[in-house]
Structure 1
Amino acid sequence: MLWVGVALLALVSAGCSNSNTSGSAAYDAAPPQAAQNNAAPQEKQGQGNTPAAVQPVQQQERQLVRTATVDLRSDDVLKAIGEVKNRAQAAGGFAGQENSTKERGTVTVRVPSAELDNLVKNLDGQVGEVTRSEVRSEDVTDQLVDVEARIATQKASVERLRVLFERAGTTAEIAQIESELTKRQSELESMQRRSESLKGKVALATLTVQVSTVPIAPPAPVEAGFGSAFLAGWHAVVTVFKAITVGVGALLPFVLVLGVPAAAVIYVLRRRKRVTRTNEAA
């Protein structure tokens, strides 16, 4: 029995080795097209593992609200302000608030955001001497995306309520749905106005130009420290004390007009009460 088992094990081993050899030989003898087909899944799998960083990524255009402030020195303030307004209109914008005298003036204009840098650059030397220039940008992309998403959701909600309004059968249902529909329609219009306002600020930048015959002093830098904090606190105390003094001064006439007669009446009543008690005791 031992020798029979050994013989059977040898036959099984030989059969397995022959099958492996035949499989390898068949793969080697296969035509190139078959070899390419066998390799294709591996290549596709390799392509699937390609890092995402290699693939191009589209970046969303950022929505920026741009504002600028420019200080100009010019011998003719009114002429300089007029030139600023003309340049803003030539760039496709318009003039806003204006406040000017012969010595000092301020004008605010709205221009396309793409033209802001060129307009600020051309002011120096052509309109006056630029003593200070500041340009700021605020990213409102997330706000616009959020508002647009809310608008889409609110529109869908309004449409659903309109369908329910058409299917309402009783007067109570009609009144309830109409009230809710009016409320949501008002919220939708508010969101749309918010979106239009943001888009308007993005499309048109705000430029404020201050013109003076003498150089305008730049704003003093704020120094952080114990001394500045103490001065700020002291100014706050003085402001509060002045407010209290003004309040007392405003109330004093009422006290004199109404308080003195009231005190006199109370004194007379108490004196009469004391006299009555004395007489009763006697």
Structure 2
Amino acid sequence: MTPSLKGFKTYEQQVDLLIERGMDVGDREKAIVQLQRVNYYRLSGYWYPFRRLTTSGKRADDFHPGTSLDEVVALYDFDARLRTATFDALAPVELALRAAIGHALGELHECAHLRPELLSSRAHGASYQQWIASYNGALGRAREDFVDHHKRRYGGTLPVWAAVEILDWGSLTYLFDFSPSTVQSQVVDAVGLSSPQLRSWMKCLNLIRNTCAHHGRLFNRTHALTPKLPAPGQSPDLDLVRPVMNRTFGQLSLIQYLRAQYGIPLSRMLSAVIRSYPTQVVRVPASHVGVPQGWKDSPLWAI
């Protein structure tokens, strides 16, 4: 039997429910306006750690005494700033990766992405055929001037250094995976990683990027994918965050690392946002983002 859905609640009833569960909502009318601005269920991800723990270790519906809506909104606003800063910090890394992969494959052949016989054995199966179908779809949807130019002059065939610009990040990761070892080595040598390491980083950062693009929550998130890291001692900057690589701060450190490797200035905005974590939220410290002790002394963050 399918369980029944929860019944509809007006904004006034939503506020009543929060009060009933022990939250201090402050000014009632302001609380209603807040719920009109940000969906109740979006905010629920930020008040989750304020819910009381039961003896079985599960979260009860009611809140710890003293929980306030102002604290919840402070965390929500922090997370919104963090998404903006993360997207901004990641953009030049994404562009550098596109340029590096397109250039290295272009040295192999101007249309290496369309020549599976020049790529690795991983490009000889169904996954490459799916990639080609996705690429052709992206090419058909593309409206950039350089695409129109190649359609007029070359029948729509893009050289690989142009093709990388119409790929989404997931498709770019697959293209790197299809690349022969000589090409992969050229790309990874620039950032001091191995091919499996960079591939795992690209997959992790693709999820981070998508979270930011779709207004997802970075706060208090445990990430399903964790990156492969250099051996302990090889990169002390990453050793500090090794234990929190499944948390947001650990994965944001990957962005700062890649910026440094590519000669891109470290993101001051990203560092500033993390430093702006709302100190009034005593019950839910910055460790809920994965921020470790001593992070401000790391060369990746001491800006």
TM-score range, shorter chain: under 0.3
Say which structure is richer in strand.
1
Say which structure is richer in helix.
1
Report 1 or 2 for greater relative contact order, CA contacts < 8 Å, sequence distance ≥ 6: 1
Structure 2 length-normalised TM: 0.23
Which structure has the bigger radius of gyration? 1
